[in-house]
């Protein structure tokens, strides 16, 4: 169970207080230095230094359920951006019981036999980020993997293979992929082929049925959405099309708490 650093600043509590664990089985009693301490999952009583110890009868088990912390091992959480621009930060989340020795991004372009290696730097919490260098930052398709090094051993994701991508016997077949575009490239709000599975559609009703599918147009490489509805007054049933703006997805490292912006439209 990896310990995190936490700081609490409350006027009545002061900067030198104590923590008493309340949930059963929790023996963690961290030292507090200027309001900062190491924390683990649990429920704690914070008590100012000048406050007398409470009656032990008051320290009964907490009156709510605290689920056990699962041991999921090393994980790398990452959703490839729809599109990214040169100079954008590609970020991931590393979940591990210990701080990694290092994290590296391995990038490959079409036709390359090897990888370009980019060191990923901590962004705070579990997040690590890297900015693509000019040698691989040209518009096109990217194939990439992330190697997390723990105790001198490489774990390469997304497959969690126990090899470094530069090892001679690396046999990874799973990679992430992303489209790299120029900074001035237009933002596609709705791509029928890409967004066909991301549509917000009306709920099926009694006697009302519909189907939506992407179909090719007469222009090579261009697709359209075809909708078919049947039932009472199908023309009054609106279809809502949603798509995430790629430029917002690329800012996730700076604003990870923001929800992706959605563009919506309706049609019969």
For the domain that residue 150 is a member of, what is the CATH number? 2.60.40.10
84 and 153 share a domain? yes
CA distances from 208 to 76, 189, 229, 234, 238 (A): 43, 28, 7, 7, 12
196 and 176 share a domain? no
How many domains does the structure of the chain reveal? 3
171 and 82 share a domain? yes
| Structural domain of 26 | 4-58
53 and 127 share a domain? no
User: How far is 258 from 171, CA to CA, in rounded Å?
Assistant: 37
46 and 95 share a domain? no
At 254 the three-state DSSP class reads coil
pLDDT in tens, 26-75: 889 999 999 999 998 888 889 887 766 666 555 565 566 666 766 777 88
Q: What's the pTM value of the predicted model, to 2 decimals?
A: 0.66
> Per-residue pLDDT averaged across 225-243, rounded?
64
54 and 104 share a domain? no
Q: Is residue 155 part of a domain?
A: yes
Q: Which pLDDT does position 9 carry in this prediction?
A: 92
Give the DSSP H or E segment for 21. Answer: strand 17-21
Q: Which pLDDT does position 90 carry in this prediction?
A: 87
111 and 50 share a domain? no
Q: Is residue 67 part of a domain?
A: no
């Amino acid at each position: 169970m990896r310990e995190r650093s936490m700081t609490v600043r409350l006027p009545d509590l002061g900067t030198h207080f104590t923590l008493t664990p309340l949930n059963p089985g929790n023996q963690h009693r961290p030292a507090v230095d200027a309001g900062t301490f190491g924390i683990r999952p649990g429920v704690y009583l914070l008590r100012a230094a000048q406050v007398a110890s409470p009656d032990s009868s008051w320290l009964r088990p907490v009156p709510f359920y605290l689920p056990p912390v699962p041991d999921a091992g090393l994980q790398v959480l990452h959703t490839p951006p729809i599109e990214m621009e040169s100079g954008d930060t590609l970020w991931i989340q590393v979940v591990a019981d210990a701080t990694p020795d290092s994290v590296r991004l391995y990038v490959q372009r079409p036709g390359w036999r090897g990888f370009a290696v980019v060191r990923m730097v901590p962004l705070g919490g579990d997040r690590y980020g890297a900015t693509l260098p000019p040698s691989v930052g040209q518009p096109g398709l990217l194939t990439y993997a992330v190697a997390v090094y723990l105790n001198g051993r490489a774990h390469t994701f997304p497959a969690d293979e126990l090899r470094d991508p530069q090892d001679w016997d690396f046999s990874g077949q799973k990679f992430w992929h992303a489209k790299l575009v120029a900074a001035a490239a237009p933002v596609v709000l709705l791509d029928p082929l890409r967004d066909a599975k991301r549509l917000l559609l009306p709920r099926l009703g009694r006697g009302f049925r519909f189907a939506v599918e992407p179909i090719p147009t007469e222009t090579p490489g261009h697709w359209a959405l075809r909708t078919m509805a049947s039932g009472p007054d199908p023309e009054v049933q609106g279809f809502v099309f949603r798509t995430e703006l790629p430029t917002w997805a690329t800012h996730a490292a700076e604003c990870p708490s923001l929800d992706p912006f959605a563009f919506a439209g309706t049609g019969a």
